[in-house]
């Protein structure tokens, strides 16, 4: 709940549940809230505690202001209560007043939110994958055949005493199953809620098999009218219908209800993040309980952004992350946002894109860690990753954030030309150290180190050649270079050799660039990825334009990552077709040489380069003419079987 009036209403409900005029009780009486304190001394758990500034019920609370905390301290003194608890405060908000008053944070898990950005089935397929979606729908159908779904406005409970009594009884049993604790949803609490400030926005949902109530819960619409909080729900686990996992089936039903009601999100309360991901949650906000207790030592740690990297350019150290992105970890889904000067009358496209992409970053890293050749990626977390507008945007960002005019950039031609291009635009001198060997796969590491560059770009697999670099030489360069080493892995999914992504956690000077434009088939979504130490990522954020990663692109990326089986199958097809084309082209009379490739293209040296490329163009076939980089060559992307056959026929006609 994000309004102080809502928090006050829930405080009244707590008093009713406790049977007292003031919200004072032991921590052990606070139901699920008490779970976070099990490691504390027994005296702390049993000592009378004033609960205020937040709610022990499911929705999280805004961090209280200094006047609110001061009033709470005065009230505790007046009540002669030595302990104070402010529960369920979102981490990342301003907790200065809490710390100043001597309260200490105790981790309380995360609140979980399902954002409904489209039709429910499409959203869930995007989030959890087609297989999990089918399971959710199956459970929903099985339950719907056996039980009803009813919603009763809380103000109308007097006309449905059976629902009120069943709700209270199910919650009493639920409390008993969790260690015999008191239920915070007893009859008095429900009565207070039904006659309080939240009554008009709250309804009870009930599922019945015949006349037997098998599930009962409470839903409260947010004050901004855009979503719904699941305050609580309890299930009769002894009823046969519970075998279908009634909780899960009812969540799917709730998503349908919310979407049909025009709502944008469903707040599920606290829960295990891995489990809630499988149910569609895509926003996880860490929570803390703030406790002041005799003998409880103040925390010495505060929430801080990662320390800025020593590689940050001096001007970058003097500026913060731009305004909106600075607050990316402070969600606004349940606030009324009148800060952005946007048009409220033209639909969801009038909202700026989501800036908190931490959950999408975790999804990407989890997917990456399952791929062959990605050992060590499990050591990375969301702070190691930055989404960019394509990998080329990452090149520009890192040069702008990590290099100053006059500092050198090293490239290894033949290579991707935009490294050189962006370096010169930013007035950075460029040193070229050409690749060596017949396959252009060997580095001149001595020459690179002698140039003492601020940034060295390695394209591996190489574009336009298609070969991989010698890993021993790469390892030497990363270990011995005093500057940054950037490895562009745009094509690495097509290679059977390992990625360098797992090295990022161990090397402060290593940056790995990835993209979803190639193997993942999302060139139109413009999604690049920078993997680097958190301090480098923070430096890049300071020069990145906010809102560049659109909601549509985020949805496309999540869908592709979650449903990756098609991608992996397509990669196998491309590899097979690449090898077939390499054999056919190697035997073709127009071709002098086919370079080895671990990408989705082939570098081909032609006998009559100009004539052949002209004839291909005349036949309506476009290939990349890279003869200016490597004499008499062109780069041929692997297409489908029809396109590849057309290429071979055009090559024969050119002779």
pLDDT score recorded for residue 304: 57
- 13, 32, 56, 4: which is closest to 202 by C-alpha? 13
pLDDT reading at 325 higher than 90: no
pLDDT at 183: 86
Give the DSSP H/E element, type plus range, for residue 134: helix 130-144
Banded pLDDT at 303 (limits 50, 70, 90): low
Q: Where are the beta strands (DSSP E) in 49-143?
A: 49-51, 83-90, 104-115
Where do the DSSP E strands lie in 222-318?
Answer: 227-235, 265-270, 283-292
And the tokens for 425? 């635009």
Q: What's the rounded mean pLDDT across residues 199-215?
A: 93
Residue 62 has pLDDT above 90, yes or no: no
The answer on pLDDT for 302 being more than 70 is no
Q: How far apart are CA 57 and CA 62, in angstroms?
A: 13
User: Which string of DSSP letters, residue by residue, matches 47-72?
Assistant: S-EEE-SS-SSSS-BPPPPHHHHHHH
Find where tokens 């309360």 sit: 269
pLDDT digits (tens, 9 = 90+) for 327-357: 888 888 888 888 888 888 887 788 888 888 9
Weakest-pLDDT range from 127-131, 193-197, 238-242, 639-643: 238-242
Q: Which band of pLDDT confidence, cut at 50, 70 and 90, is reported for residue 244?
A: confident
Q: How far is CA 604 from CA 60, 466, 622, 624, in A?
A: 61, 10, 14, 10
- For the segment 279-292, the average pLDDT, to the nearest whole number, is 92
**Cβ(112)–Cβ(123) below 8 Å:** no
Average pLDDT, the chain: 92
Please tell me what DSSP assigns to residue 441: -
Comparing 54-63, 76-85, 216-225, 230-239, the range with the smallest average pLDDT is: 54-63
CB 264 within 8 A of CB 115: yes
Mean pLDDT for the stretch of residues 145-151: 92
Residues 6+ apart with CB under 8 A from 304: none
Token duo for residue 520: 């993942």
State the pLDDT at residue 156: 87
What is the mean pLDDT of the segment spanning 441-451?
97
pLDDT for the residue numbered 300: 55
Structure confidence at residue 239 (pLDDT): 87
* Interval 485-515: pLDDT, tens: 999 999 999 999 999 999 999 999 999 999 9
pLDDT in the model for residue 297: 78
- The answer to whether the CB of 127 falls within 8 A of the CB of 562 is yes
Least confident of 295-309, 436-450, 488-502: 295-309
In the structure, what pLDDT confidence band is assigned to residue 458 with cuts at 50, 70 and 90?
very high
- The yes-or-no verdict on residue 226 having pLDDT over 70 is yes
**How far separated are the first and last CA of the chain, in Å rounded?**
74
> 119 exposed, middle or buried (CB, 10 Å; 0-12, 13-18, 19+)?
exposed
114 close to 279: Cβ distance less than 8 angstroms: yes
pLDDT of res. 347: 79
Q: Please state the rounded mean pLDDT for residues 373-383.
A: 95
Mean pLDDT of 182-208: 92
pLDDT of 221 over the 60 cut: yes
CA distance 598 to 584: 17
More confident residue, 345 or 1: 345
pLDDT in tens, 32-55: 888 888 888 889 999 999 999 888
Q: Which residue has the tokens 């999302």?
A: 522
Among the residues of 181-237, which ranges form H helices?
187-194
Report the alpha-carbon distance of residue 360 to residue 328 in Å, rounded: 13
Question: Which of 234, 220, 233 lies closest to 263 in space, CA to CA?
Answer: 220
C-alpha dist (Å) from residue 485 to 110, 226, 389, 468:
36, 46, 21, 16
φ/ψ region of 331 (left if φ > 0, alpha if ψ in -120 to 50, else beta) reads: beta
Task: State the pTM of this model.
Answer: 0.89
Residues with Cβ within 8 Å of residue 352, at least 6 apart in sequence: 324, 340, 342, 547
Residue 116 clears pLDDT 90, i.e. is over it? yes
Is the pLDDT confidence value at 11 over 80?
A: yes
Q: 323 pLDDT exceeds 90? A: no
Instruction: Give the H or E element holding residue 448.
Output: helix 445-451
Percent of the chain with pLDDT over 70: 98
Strand ranges inside 295-428, DSSP E: 385-388, 409-411
Percent of the chain with pLDDT over 90: 77
**Which carries the bigger pLDDT value, residue 179 or residue 448?**
448
CB atoms within 10 A of CB 223: 16
pLDDT attached to residue 478: 97
Q: Band of the pLDDT at 387, cuts 50, 70, 90?
A: very high
């Amino acid at each position: 709940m994000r309004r102080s009036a809502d928090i006050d209403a829930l405080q009244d409900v707590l008093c009713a549940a406790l049977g007292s005029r003031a919200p004072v009780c032991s921590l052990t009486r606070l139901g699920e809230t008490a779970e976070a304190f099990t490691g504390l001394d027994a005296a702390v758990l049993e000592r009378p505690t004033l609960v205020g500034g937040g709610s022990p019920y499911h929705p999280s609370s805004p961090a209280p202001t200094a006047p609110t905390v001061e009033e709470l301290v005065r009230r505790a003194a007046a009540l002669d209560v030595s302990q104070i608890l402010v529960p369920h405060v979102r981490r990342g908000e301003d907790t200065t007043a809490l710390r100043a008053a001597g309260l200490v944070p105790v981790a309380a898990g995360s609140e979980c939110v399902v954002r409904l950005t489209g039709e429910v089935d499409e959203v869930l397929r995007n989030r959890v994958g087609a297989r999990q979606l089918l399971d959710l729908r199956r459970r929903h159908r099985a339950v719907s055949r056996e039980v009803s779904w009813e919603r009763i406005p809380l103000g109308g409970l007097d006309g449905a005493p059976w629902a009120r009594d069943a709700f209270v009884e199910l919650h009493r049993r639920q409390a008993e199953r969790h260690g015999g604790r008191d239920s915070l949803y007893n009859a008095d609490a429900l009565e207070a809620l039904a006659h309080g400030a939240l009554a008009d926005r709250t309804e009870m949902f009930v599922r019945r098999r015949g006349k037997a109530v098998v599930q009962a819960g409470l839903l409260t619409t947010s004050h901004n009218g855009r979503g719904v909080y699941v305050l609580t729900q309890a299930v009769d686990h002894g009823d046969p219908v519970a075998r279908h996992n009634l909780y899960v089936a009812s969540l799917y039903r709730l998503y349908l209800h919310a979407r049909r009601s025009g709502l944008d999100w469903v707040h599920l309360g606290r829960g295990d993040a891995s489990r809630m991901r499988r149910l569609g949650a895509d926003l996880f906000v860490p929570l803390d309980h703030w406790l002041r207790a005799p003998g409880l030592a103040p925390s010495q740690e505060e929430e801080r952004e990662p320390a800025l990297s020593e590689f940050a350019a001096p001007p970058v150290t003097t500026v913060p992350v731009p305004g909106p992105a600075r607050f990316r970890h402070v969600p606004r889904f349940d606030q009324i946002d009148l800060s952005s000067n946007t048009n409220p009358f033209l639909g969801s496209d009038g909202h700026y894109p989501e800036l908190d992409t931490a959950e999408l970053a975790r999804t990407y890293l989890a997917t990456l860690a399952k791929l062959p050749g990605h050992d060590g990626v499990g050591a990375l977390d969301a702070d190691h990753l930055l989404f960019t507008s394509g990998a080329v945007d990452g090149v520009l960002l890192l040069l702008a954030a990590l290099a100053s005019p006059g500092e050198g950039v090293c490239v290894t031609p033949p290579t991707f030309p935009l490294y050189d291009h962006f370096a010169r635009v930013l007035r950075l001198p460029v040193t070229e150290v050409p690749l060596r060997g017949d396959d252009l796969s060997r580095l001149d590491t001595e020459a690179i180190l002698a140039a003492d560059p601020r940034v060295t770009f390695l394209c591996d697999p190489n574009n336009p050649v298609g070969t991989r670099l010698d890993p021993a030489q790469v390892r030497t360069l990363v270990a011995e270079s005093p500057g940054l080493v950037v490895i562009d892995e745009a094509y690495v999914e097509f290679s059977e050799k390992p990625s360098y992504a797992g090295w990022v956690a161990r090397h402060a000077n290593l940056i790995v660039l990835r993209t979803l434009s190639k193997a993942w088939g999302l060139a139109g979504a413009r999604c690049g990825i920078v993997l680097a130490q958190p301090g480098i990522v923070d430096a890049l954020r300071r020069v990145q334009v906010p809102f560049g990663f659109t909601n549509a692109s985020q949805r496309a990326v999540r869908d592709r990552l979650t449903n990756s089986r098609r991608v992996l199958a397509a990669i196998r097809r491309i590899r097979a077709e690449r090898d077939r084309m390499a054999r056919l082209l190697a035997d073709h009379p127009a071709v002098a040489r086919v370079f080895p490739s671990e990408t989705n293209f082939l570098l081909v040296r032609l006998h009559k380069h100009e004539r052949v490329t002209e004839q291909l163009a005349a036949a309506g076939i476009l290939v990349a003419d890279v003869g200016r980089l490597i004499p008499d060559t062109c780069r041929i992307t692997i297409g489908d079987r029809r396109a590849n056959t057309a290429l071979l026929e055009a090559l024969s006609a050119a002779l």
